[in-house]
Amino acid sequence: MEARKKTAREVERHIVARVGDVPEGEHRIFSVAGREIGIFNVRGEYFALRNRCPHLGGPLCEGEVLGLVYSSKPGDVRFDGSKRLITCPWHGWEFDVKTGQSYFNPRLKARRYTVETSVGEASRERQEAVPENPDELEPGPYKAEVLQVKEEGEYLVVAMPKSTAGRERGAS
């Protein structure tokens, strides 16, 4: 029996745009070898995501890019602008623009109250622990496809696996 050799996937490099075509803090969607790719400029650093939500295939890069909003308790809402999350326009799943990782906190859930009747006695509810720090977020079940993007001179160049090029929706 012949042993199978593992080979590294070949990549193709594609010039996508000029550096000035994606201003800082913005993103643009480009068609690259039959695939839609979102290029993000986060404080002068470029990141590329495939325009396909891993949840149900929605147009991920058409969503809004926001910072992280978190809360430790009702009425305490905080904003962390250092994290950049893109929100899928179909179902609101959020993904880190830099890593493609979705996040959630399994300890964070709707508060549940027990209802009982008693005569002349008040009952207290136990407060469930919720994180006060966004670093306590747990990786979620989905990760968007991240592609390598480099600034080469005046151009932005994306490296894509060769074997999957041309499978984007609408491509024949």
pLDDT number for residue 172: 36
Write the CATH number for 108: 2.102.10.10
pLDDT number for residue 1: 43
13 occurs within a structural domain: no
106 occurs within a structural domain: yes
Residue ranges in the chain modelled with pLDDT below 50: 1-4, 6, 107-110, 123-128, 164-166, 168-172
92 occurs within a structural domain: yes
154 occurs within a structural domain: no
Domain that holds residue 84: 23-113
Select from 166, 155, 172 the least CA-distant residue to 12: 166
pLDDT number for residue 58: 93
125 occurs within a structural domain: no
* Cβ atoms of residues 38 and 48 within 8 Å: yes
How many structural domains is the chain composed of? 1
pLDDT number for residue 116: 60
Quote the tokens at residue 93: 């799943």
d(CA 111, CA 126): 10
E strands along 19-166, which residues? 27-32, 35-42, 45-50, 65-73, 76-87, 94-96, 101-104, 138-143, 146-152, 155-161
105 occurs within a structural domain: yes
pLDDT number for residue 113: 57
Quote the tokens at residue 54: 């891993």
pLDDT number for residue 80: 87
pTM for this one?
0.67
pLDDT number for residue 50: 93
pLDDT number for residue 106: 52
